[in-house]
Amino acid sequence: MDSNFLRRIYVLVFLLILSFAVVVARAVYIQHFQYDFFSVKAKKQYNVPIHLFSQRGAILDRNRRILAFDVPSYSLYAEPRSMSFADKEKAASLLSSILGKDKGFIKSLLNKDKAFVWLARKLPLDMKVKISALGIKGLGYRTEFTRSYPDNGLMCHVLGFTNVDRKGIAGVELFYDEFLRGEDGVQWLIKDGRQVKMPIGNELIQPRDGLSIELTIDEVIQNITERALSNMIDRFHPDSCWAVVMDPFTGEVLAMASWPNFNLNEYNKAKKEAMRNRVITDMFEPGSVFKIITAVAALEDGVVDENTEIFCGNGVYKVAGHILHDCHPYGILTFRQVIEKSSNIGTVKTAQMLGKERLYSYIKKFGFGRKTGIDLPGEINGSIRPPGKWSKISISAVPIGQEVGVTSLQLARAVSVIANGGYLVRPYVCARFLDKNGSIIKDLSMYRNRKRIISQETSERIKEILVGVVERGTGRRAKIKGYRVAGKTGTAQEIVNGVYSNTEFMSSFVGFVPADSPQFVICVTADTRKPFHFGGVVAAPAFREIAEKSLKYIGVAPTKSDGQHRPNRNF
């Protein structure tokens, strides 16, 4: 046999053996060193995950009226690898006008070397029907859920909202997100070699729906409160205004409203300024409303009684070189009259007898300078400096609500102490968690965490003084026929560029009704300008409207003409 021929045979055999060795080596390498990589790749190619979306829990008011819930929507996707060039051209051309998206953008998605791309999320049913009628191959839908708020802007600052993935990003939706959102599931389907889905799966994780939440808020009282603010806006044109309604015995928030507000279903169009829940985020000097704390401290410590006479300097009083004025030149007033007529001088003289250390201790007892602990995001502490950091004139400022920063919720809680007989309560908005059948999973009522901070006797004495404020003093516009009302006005100059403004004011009224059997504590606050800037003029009428309509709603009849009153509520 020819040696050259044999040489060629040997070379061929060698090459065959070498090729086989390479194949074997490659197979061994893949099996032992890249097994995990190719196993995952194969699984992705032949196993298709189908996302099973959980349903977010609903939010209900105290009477289980629906305030927020999930509605089905349809998210459009494409499978570019299974689409022909003609299919992609047709899809891009027809979908651009329906979806309101650029044709080139849709083509760029369809030209990706992917098995799956989203084209549009959360479409309504009518749009799904319209697109399905086009008969475009390679398109599909997955049912998701969209958050819906049937009352649009009602209690928008309390409810908050979710993003496109239904994750809470404000209000109750954010604070209780982990309970509301539940957990999504997944179904794995199998594809054959032609990428056709088979109606079988080898793994299923069922979705777990979120819990629903029942709030302490009453939708009717919330409507009453928001309408009262709207009427205030129409009449006095404040830059902003807000109000809170509480049960003074439990801390349950029955209504909480701020203006400007926004539509929860179109939150992405809202201005940032409109998204603030001013009841808990805005700090202001309360002015004369704060005289309630000074009065409580003086009576509780026995510094004065209701009939103690105080000379009010005929409207002028000098403290450490600073001249303090009253709106009217009062002479001698009883302590009761000092509060009824809101005398700055009489209040400061009382505080001087009390002393700054004792006054400060009562301010802290009432919870000022720290969060109330309400279950809503964004609450601030407020501000109160310890006596060691007071200036020489602070004793003439703090007792009348200057050099102090508070929120309206802090004021409402403080006045609740007077209404409920001396207990500091914790405000809250979430009453209980419910399952999808409405059964109670957990009761979150927190009012048992109350703490007595003043005596029953002192609370009753202050209550009568606050009734006098409405009957004979600065709060006359809060009077309601047939009911005894207790409350206090506040008008405070705003600080603008570091100095007190003569044109911009914070106007407020806080009180409770009926005085003899309190159902509501209501605090109304407005950022106002002259000439409509007094708390008794701007805020008191809104208080009256909220209180009167809310009492009628819950069926509390007016007091009989014989002067008899309902007994005080007990815990």
Residue 523: CB partners within 8 Å, gap ≥ 6? Answer: 243, 244, 408, 409, 411, 412, 415, 508, 509, 510
Q: How far apart are CA 280 and CA 302, in angstroms?
A: 33
- What are the structure tokens assigned to 446, written together? 């927190």
Its sign, for the CA torsion 23, 24, 25, 29, is positive
Residue type (1 letter), 435? D
Q: Which helix (H) or strand (E) holds 181?
A: none
Whether the CB-CB separation of 404 and 290 falls below 8 Å is answered with yes
**Three-state SS for 550?**
helix
Q: Which helix (H) or strand (E) holds 569?
A: none
Q: Which helix (H) or strand (E) holds 339?
A: helix 335-340
Q: Which helix (H) or strand (E) holds 99?
A: helix 85-99
Q: How far apart are CA 326 and CA 375, in angstroms?
A: 40
Neighbours of 28 (CB within 10 A): 10
* Cα–Cα nearest to 234, from 542, 492, 491, 546: 542
Which residue is catalytic, options 288, 394, 507, 550? 288
Give 570: exposed, middle or buried? Use CB within 10 Å, 0-12, 13-18, 19+.
exposed
The answer to whether residue 19 is catalytic is: no
Greatest pairwise CA separation for the chain in angstroms: 141
Which residues, listed in sequence order, are joined to residue 510 by a DSSP beta bridge? 488, 523
Q: Which long-range contacts (CB under 8 A, 24 or more apart) does 433-437 make?
A: 433/179, 433/211, 433/212, 433/213, 433/214, 434/57, 434/60, 434/211, 434/212, 434/213, 434/214, 435/211, 435/212, 436/55, 436/57, 436/209, 436/212
Q: Going edge to edge, which strands form the sheet with 197-205?
A: 47-52, 185-191, 197-205
Pairing of strands 212-215, 66-78: unpaired
Q: What is the CA radius of gyration of the chain?
A: 34
Q: Tell me the Ramachandran region of residue 54: left when phi exceeds 0, alpha when psi lies from -120 to 50, beta otherwise.
A: beta
Q: How far apart are CA 325 and CA 340, in angstroms?
A: 16
Active site residues: 288
